[in-house]
């Protein structure tokens, strides 16, 4: 069934019939070695490596994989400046062997428990490549690129024990019902960035003061439309909100795969696009979590239940208010999804050299596909969607999107550029 909603077309998919290889949807193009290992990276990082596969964590891990693939491919095909340490040039080597080996070796380095599965996958990929010097050279290039990137990320702060004490003052974040989970992944905000100078480089100005009219406006907006008992949220808005509760890393990675195949991008072009996206998203996530920890602002569920304490006469408490979707265990400001999506959209516009980049995303939550005339339209929708489910205040959404875009713009002006 097809439903047209403004600039968005929603295609519903029969429940239970959504394939696990959703990236193949939307195009009849055959998967190449890059596509296969991108799918494998998503599986290894998001589907298998749990816990710890939340969107910001997966973005950081995907960046490590795709940077190695990018450096390996650039060493063979040339044309672009490698990321940091250059792999020795290897013209004539097999790009396919290099990409597969680089992805394999990084994933084994990140997830040694998956070595058997990854070894079998590599053997399958290499079996399709003719034997000879080009294949051997490609494997060597891929292995070298993987070693360099893994070495570069040693002691970068990933998965470190970063203490975080919930706030005690009004307006500060503390664990929320129903799970009362501790702050998830506070270490992300302290990870050494891939390309930014500091995690705080694009830290936004902060949420509106609680006594302000703007805070009251945003408070009443999410209270009215984002709760489980909302009488003003439409069926369309509910579906939109739930659509974007899919895992952002998996959701966007599927969409990028479809887009790359629809555009018939070569392996070198795909390697550059995916390295650009995940490096930008990784650093945007690092910056986002750094800002979350800095401001430690409460989520709507806490704000609405404890509004009697906020000092704003235009807000009213509701001790039983609940968001449509259970609140994630980390502070409100800024929105992680919008940091993530803002960086992705800015990268797509930069890579293709236009703001008119149509994208299609599917959701395993709603089993629907939403098609956007421009990637920017998807970002605008995410801003609204997170309010519809009671997740964030509007300033967290808008400022998160700005952080993501600013991060990507800075990175892409300095990395992944054409070679002189």
**For 194-228, how does the pLDDT look when each residue is reduced to its tens digit (9 = 90+)?**
999 999 999 999 999 999 999 999 999 999 999 99
Domain contains 5: no
Share of the chain above pLDDT 90, in %: 87
Phi, psi (deg, nearest 5) at residue 289: -70, -30
Q: Is residue 13 part of a domain?
A: no
Which tens digit of pLDDT belongs to each residue from 154-204? 999 999 999 888 888 999 999 888 788 899 999 999 999 999 999 999 999
Q: Which residues pair with 363 in a beta bridge?
A: 368
Residue span of the structural domain in which 117 resides? 31-156
Burial 330-355 (b: 16+ CB within 10 A, else e): bbbbbbbbbbbbbbbbbbbbbbeeee
Query: Looking at the domain assignment, is residue 292 inside a domain?
Result: yes
Burial classification of residue 271, based on how many CB atoms lie within 10 Å of its CB (0-12 exposed, 13-18 middle, 19 or more buried): buried
- Domain membership of residue 411 (yes or no) is yes
94 and 197 inside one domain: no
- Residue 295 included in any domain: yes
Contacts of 104 (CB under 8 A, 6+ apart): 37, 118, 119, 121, 122, 142, 146
Q: From CA 419, how far away is CA 83, in angstroms rounded?
A: 12
* Shared-domain flag, residues 255 and 302: yes
Q: 351 and 385: one domain?
A: yes
pLDDT beyond 70 at 124? yes
3 lies in a domain? Answer: no
Q: How much is the pLDDT for 29?
A: 67
Q: What are phi and psi of 323, to 5 degrees?
A: -75, 160
Residue 134 belongs to a domain: yes
Domain limit, last residue, from 156, 177, 200: 156
> Is 10 part of any domain?
no
- Listed as own residue / partner, the contacts of 226-232 with beta carbons closer than 8 Å and 24 or more positions apart are 226/300, 226/323, 226/324, 226/387, 226/388, 226/389, 226/390, 226/391, 227/304, 227/321, 227/322, 227/323, 227/324, 227/390, 228/322, 228/323, 228/324, 228/390, 229/321, 229/322, 230/324
Domain boundary among 99, 131, 156: 156
Question: Residue 22 in 3-state DSSP?
Answer: helix
Considering its fold, how many domains does the chain have in total?
2
227 phi and psi angles, rounded to 5 deg:
-85, 165
- Enumerate residues 6+ apart whose C-beta is below 8 A from 17: none
Instruction: Say if residue 81 is in the same domain as residue 112.
Output: yes
């Amino acid at each position: 069934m097809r439903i047209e909603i403004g600039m968005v077309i929603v295609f519903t998919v029969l429940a239970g019939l959504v394939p696990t290889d959703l990236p193949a949807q939307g195009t009849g193009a055959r998967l190449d070695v890059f596509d296969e290992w991108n799918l494998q990276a998503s599986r290894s990082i998001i589907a298998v490596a749990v816990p710890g596969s939340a969107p910001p964590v997966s973005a950081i891990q995907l960046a490590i994989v795709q940077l190695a693939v990018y450096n390996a491919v650039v060493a063979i095909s040339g044309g672009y400046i490698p990321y940091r340490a250059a792999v020795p040039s290897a013209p004539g080597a097999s790009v396919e062997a290099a990409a597969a080996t680089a992805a394999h070796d990084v994933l084994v380095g990140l997830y040694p428990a998956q070595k058997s599965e990854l070894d079998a996958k590599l053997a399958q990929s290499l079996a399709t490549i003719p034997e000879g010097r080009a294949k051997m050279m490609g494997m060597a290039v891929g292995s070298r690129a993987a070693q360099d990137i893994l070495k570069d990320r040693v002691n970068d702060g990933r998965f470190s024990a970063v203490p975080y004490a919930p706030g005690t003052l009004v307006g500060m974040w503390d664990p929320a019902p129903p799970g009362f989970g501790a702050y998830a992944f506070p270490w992300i905000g302290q990870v050494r960035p891939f390309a930014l100078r500091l995690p705080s480089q694009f830290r936004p100005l902060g949420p509106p003061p609680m006594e302000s009219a703007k805070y009251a406006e945003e408070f009443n907006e999410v209270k009215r439309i984002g709760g489980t008992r909302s009488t003003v949220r439409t069926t369309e808005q509910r579906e939109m909100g739930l659509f974007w509760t899919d895992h952002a890393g998996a959701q966007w990675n599927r969409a990028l795969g479809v887009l790359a195949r629809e555009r018939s991008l070569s392996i070198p072009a795909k390697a550059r696009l995916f390295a650009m996206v995940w490096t930008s998203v990784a650093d945007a996530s690092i910056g986002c979590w750094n800002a979350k920890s800095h401001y430690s602002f409460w989520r709507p569920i806490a704000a609405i239940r404890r509004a009697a304490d906020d000092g704003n006469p235009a807000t009213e408490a509701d001790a039983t208010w609940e968001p449509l979707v259970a609140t994630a265990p980390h502070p409100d400001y800024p929105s992680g999804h919008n940091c993530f999506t803002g960086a992705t959209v800015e990268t797509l516009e930069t890579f293709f050299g236009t703001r008119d980049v149509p994208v299609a995303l599917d959701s395993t939550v709603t089993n629907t596909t939403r098609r956007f005339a421009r990637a920017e339209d998807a970002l605008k929708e995410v801003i609204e969607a997170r309010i519809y489910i009671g997740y964030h205040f509007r300033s967290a959404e808008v400022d998160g999107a700005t952080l993501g875009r600013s991060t990507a713009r800075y990175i892409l002006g300095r990395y992944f550029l054409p070679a002189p």
